[in-house]
Chains A and B, each alone.
Chain A
Amino acid sequence: MSGQFVLEGVVVGLAVGSIYALIAVGFTVLYKSTKILNLAHGELVLFGGYLAIAATSAFGFLPTPAAFAAGVAVTLLAAAALGFAVERAVMRPLFGQPLLSVIIVTLALGYVVRGIMVGIWSGETRTFPPVIPATVVRVAGVPVSLVGVWSAAAAATLLVTFSLFFRYSRWGIAMRAAANEQLTASTLGVSLRRVFAYAWAFAAVAGAVGGILLGLWLGVNFALAAVGLKALAAVILGGLDSVPGAILGGLLVGVVETVLGGYMEAHVRVLGQPLHGFKEVTAYLVILLALMVRPHGLFGTERIERL
Chain B
Amino acid sequence: MAYARPCGDFKTSYAQDMALLDIRLYRWGFLLLLAAMVAAPWVLGRWIYLLNDIAVFAIGAVGLSLVMGFAGQISLGHAAFMAVGAYTSWFATTHLKLPFVAALPLSAVVAFAVGAVVGLPSLRIKGLYLAIATLAFQFLVEYLIVQTVSGMGGTPVPPMDLFGVPVNTEVRFWYVVATVWVVGAVFATNLTRTRVGLALMAVRDRDYAAQVLGVNLLYYKTLAFALGAAYAGVAGSLFAHYNRVIGAEHFSLAQSIDFVAMLVIGGLGSVWGPHLGAAFVRMLTQLLKMWAPVLGAVIPVLGRATTSVHDVVFGVILIVFLIWEPGGLATLLRKFKRYVDLWPFPH
Which residues of A are at the interface with B, using a C-beta cutoff of 8 A? 37, 90, 93-94, 97, 99-101, 103-105, 107-112, 114-116, 118-120, 122, 229, 232, 236, 240, 270-271, 273, 275-277, 280-281, 284-285, 287-288, 291-292, 295, 305, 307
Contacts and interface: CB of A to CB of B under 8 A. Distances in A.
Main secondary structure of the interface of B (DSSP, over half): helix
A292 B206 CA distance: 22
B305 A119 contact: yes
B221 to A, nearest CB: 15
Interface of B: 68, 72, 74, 76, 121, 124-125, 127-129, 131-133, 135-137, 139-140, 143, 146-148, 206, 208-209, 212, 257, 260-261, 264, 268, 304-312, 314-316, 318-319, 322-323, 326
B133 A288 contact: yes
A292 B140 CA distance: 16
B127 A295 contact: no
A104 B209 contact: no
A104 B311 contact: no
B136 A284 contact: yes
B133 A275 contact: no
Nearest to B137: A288
Contacts, number: 125
B128 A111 contact: no
A104 B127 contact: no
A57 to B, nearest CB: 18
Given A101-B326, A111-B314, A112-B316, A118 B136 contact: no
A101 B322 CA distance: 6
B315 A115 contact: yes
Nearest to A114: B311
B82 to A, nearest CB: 18
Among B136, B212, B257, B326, the most chain A Cβ lie within 10 Å of the Cβ of: B136
Nearest to A89: B319
Nearest to A306: B208
A100 B264 CA distance: 10
B312 A93 contact: no
A291 B314 contact: no
Contacts of B148: 271
A281 B311 contact: no
Given A97-B326, A280-B143, A281-B139, A119 B260 contact: no
B268 A100 contact: yes
A281 to B, nearest CB: 5
A90 B324 CA distance: 11
Contacts of A37: 128, 131-132
A94 B321 CA distance: 11
